[in-house]
Amino acid sequence: SGSAVASTCESLPKKPHFTKEEETARWMAHVMDWGVLSTISTRNDTLAAPFGNPYSFVDGGCGADGGTGTIYFYASGMDQSMIDTETDPRVSFALSEASLNGDDALEQKACVVGPSGDPENPPCARAVFNGSLRKLDNDSDEFKTAEAAFFERHASMQDWPTDHSWFIGAIDLSDIWLIDIYGGAKTLDIDSYYAADLKY
């Protein structure tokens, strides 16, 4: 397995062996830049139906001590997904290893659409994180750490309009679902997920 190399971080951890499920989910939460956030819609045309929306995220900054496993969003209160969470804070956030396909340092053949690969191919890891969205207190240390991670890893966010009611939200996890090899999905132990160590 290769090392994920992102333009915003000098180094990121290597993909764990497929038998290390909690570590794999932590790896995905740390090396990936975006996923699809689903909420319970409050739009009149799709009331109470699932609503999916691509969202950038971080679990911390660069470096071996950066990853926390907690998924953070830099979000506008004007965005539909965040409007939905005001009524029902339950969210689901989906990640796919296929989002790393542009990285030449990775061995992502299982994810590449073609004769032997596809994002639905089980060795192309996918994880779904479920829980409730929690708004961070702007004066908290957690907020300051997460904001610094966003501005480090998603640098353009520093220049976004200031009048869009920005806040940082975190998923308080209740369930993690993972496929990273053949044999069916696994439901992961959340304490073991947070305790997992990433290898550089």
Cβ pair 15, 103 in contact under 8 A: no
Mean pLDDT for the stretch of residues 143-151: 97
Q: pLDDT, tens digit, for every residue of 94-112?
A: 999 999 865 555 556 889 8
Among 83, 73, 76, 80, residue whose Cα is nearest residue 52:
80
Q: Give the pLDDT confidence score for residue 106 in this predicted structure.
A: 55
Averaged confidence pLDDT in the chain: 92
Residue 9 has pLDDT above 90, yes or no: no
Among 162, 165, 170, 104, residue whose Cα is nearest residue 133:
170
Cβ pair 57, 34 in contact under 8 A: yes
CA 50 to chain centre: 18
To the nearest whole percent, how much of the chain has pLDDT over 70? Answer: 92
- Burial of 199: CB neighbours in 10 Å, binned 0-12, 13-18, 19+: middle
In degrees, to the nearest 5, what angle opens at C-alpha 103 toward C-alphas 156 and 176? 80
Cα–Cα distance for residue pair 96/109, rounded to 1 Å? 13
To the nearest whole percent, how much of the chain has pLDDT over 90? Answer: 78
Cα–Cα distance for residue pair 145/60, rounded to 1 Å? 8
The DSSP secondary-structure symbol of 49 reads S
Q: Give the pLDDT confidence score for residue 101 in this predicted structure.
A: 65
Residue 91 has pLDDT above 80, yes or no: yes
Q: Give the pLDDT confidence score for residue 28 in this predicted structure.
A: 96
Cα–Cα distance for residue pair 99/102, rounded to 1 Å? 8
- Burial of 94: CB neighbours in 10 Å, binned 0-12, 13-18, 19+: middle
Q: pLDDT, tens digit, for every residue of 54-67?
A: 999 999 999 878 99
Q: Give the pLDDT confidence score for residue 32 in this predicted structure.
A: 94
Give the list of residues 6+ apart from residue 140 with CB closer than 8 angstroms, or none.
Answer: none
Among 105, 103, 99, residue whose Cα is nearest residue 124:
99
Residue 159 has pLDDT above 90, yes or no: yes
Mean pLDDT for the stretch of residues 4-12: 67
For residue 158 the two structure tokens come to 């520093």
Q: How confident is the model at residue 5 (pLDDT cuts 50, 70, 90)?
A: very low
Residue 128 has pLDDT above 60, yes or no: yes
